[in-house]
């Protein structure tokens, strides 16, 4: 039997001891998620009442998992991207704020009612957000893995989105034919290098390696996707990639080798070049 106060204090001290940076906020968010109440808004009397036993057990077990390196987002089961809610959990990459840069870039492209394809869609955060934020005629999200697909489909429903979802490997020519022509291709592929993979934060280690690892130099997917998908883009169409820090010149070179021009770099909120886009001649 624990009181709300004891439960909250337990979380705060466990997260602090585990060295979690944002432990005060995380304790509050977990508290709110499991008890459905905002600890800050509770009176002293309320804080000293006994919390529901089942909820307390779940809360304490989530706090333990958090101290063992489970990402907060997986424990909450939901995370926001560009103001929209996305269900997340084991098997799917957690939407990052950096990735909102892709949305800004696509919104700035001057193609009326484009057909858009989102490759390596994962949770669907890019495709679904674009369906809300642009006047696209059609958006198709392509995803290979079961683990991510489960979330992608649920996120389409959660957001009442009208995108089409295609199950397929973006490196397989059959997927290219199944998807057909388009005006804009967006993609946040796996782009971490072998070295990056060896230095992953504990939380990121819990995310699917298939969403992170881009081969020895991190560039495998840019090389293969650009070569394989360029013919399905209309002339004057755009390819828009999220990249890792410092990959812009290599990705620009891949674009040039494949006959693209108007190569542009866009920074994220931390002033890191996060998106490279290019136009098909
Ligand atoms: N942005 C992710 C990270 O830094 C990597 C995601 C990706 O490879 N597309 O962990």
Convert the pLDDT of each residue in 74-90 to its tens digit. Answer: 999 999 999 999 999 99
| Cα-trace Rg, the chain | 21
pLDDT interval class at 235 (50, 70, 90): very high
pLDDT category of residue 103 using cuts at 50, 70 and 90: very high
pLDDT for the residue 1: 81
Strand 233-242 with 182-187, pairing: parallel
% helix, strand, coil for the chain, step of 5: 45, 20, 35
Share of the chain above pLDDT 90, in %: 99
Compute the distance between CA of residue 230 and CA of residue 218 in angstroms, rounded to an integer: 20
- Tens digit of pLDDT for each residue in 6-44? 999 999 999 999 999 999 999 999 999 999 999 999 999
pLDDT value for 144: 98
Does the pLDDT value for residue 106 go beyond 90?
yes
Per-residue pLDDT, averaged over 205-224, amounts to 98
How much is the pTM?
A: 0.95
> Which atom, in ligand 1's list, is nearest to the CA of 204?
10
Ligand 1: centre distance to CA 121 (Å): 13
pLDDT tens digit sequence for 197-211: 999 999 999 999 999
CA distance 113 to 228: 24
- Per-residue pLDDT band at 276 (split at 50, 70, 90): very high
Average pLDDT along the chain: 97
Beta bridge partners of 239: 185, 278
Q: What is the mean pLDDT of residues 264-281?
A: 97
185, pLDDT greater than 90: yes
- Cα of 70 from ligand 1 centre, angstroms: 17
Q: How far is the CA of 222 from the centre of ligand 1 (A)?
A: 14
- Ligand 1, pocket-test mutation among 97, 186, 212, 272, most atoms within 8 A of CB: 212
Residue nearest to ligand 1 atom 6, measured at CA = 212
E-only strand ranges, 93-154: 115-119, 138-143
Checking if the pLDDT of 190 tops 90, the result is yes
Pairing relationship of beta strands 273-280 and 233-242 according to DSSP bridges: antiparallel
Q: Strands (DSSP E) along 35-148, which ranges?
A: 78-81, 84-87, 115-119, 138-143
The total of other beta-carbon atoms located within 10 Å of residue 49's CB is: 11
Residue-level pLDDT at 121: 98
156 pLDDT more than 90: yes
């Amino acid at each position: 039997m624990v009181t709300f106060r004891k439960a909250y204090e337990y979380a705060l001290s466990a997260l602090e001891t585990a060295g979690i940076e944002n432990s005060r906020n995380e304790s509050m968010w977990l508290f709110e998620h499991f008890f459905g109440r905002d600890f800050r808004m509770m009176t002293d009397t309320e804080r000293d009442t006994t919390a529901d036993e089942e909820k307390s057990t779940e809360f304490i077990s989530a706090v333990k998992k958090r101290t063992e390196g489970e990402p907060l987002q997986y424990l909450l089961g939901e995370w926001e991207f560009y103001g929209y809610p996305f269900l997340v959990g084991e098997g799917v990459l957690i939407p990052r704020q950096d990735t909102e840069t892709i949305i800004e870039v696509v919104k700035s492209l001057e193609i009326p009612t484009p057909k858009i394809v989102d490759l390596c869609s994962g949770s669907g955060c890019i495709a679904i957000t674009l369906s809300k934020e642009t006047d696209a005629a059609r958006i198709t999200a392509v995803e290979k893995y079961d683990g991510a697909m489960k979330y992608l489909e649920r996120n389409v429903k959660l957001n009442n989105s009208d995108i089409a979802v295609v199950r397929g490997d973006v490196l397989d020519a059959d997927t290219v034919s199944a998807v057909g022509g388009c005006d804009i291709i967006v993609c946040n592929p796996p782009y971490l290098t072998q070295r990056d993979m060896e230095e992953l934060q504990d939380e990121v280690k819990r995310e699917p390696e298939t969403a992170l690892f881009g081969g020895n130099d991190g560039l495998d997917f840019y090389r293969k996707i650009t070569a394989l998908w360029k013919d399905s883009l209309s002339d004057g169409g755009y390819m828009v990639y999220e990249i890792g820090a410092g990959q812009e010149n290599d990705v620009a070179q891949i674009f040039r080798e494949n006959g693209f021009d108007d190569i542009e770099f866009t920074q994220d909120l931390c002033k890191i070049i996060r998106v490279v886009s290019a136009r098909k001649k």
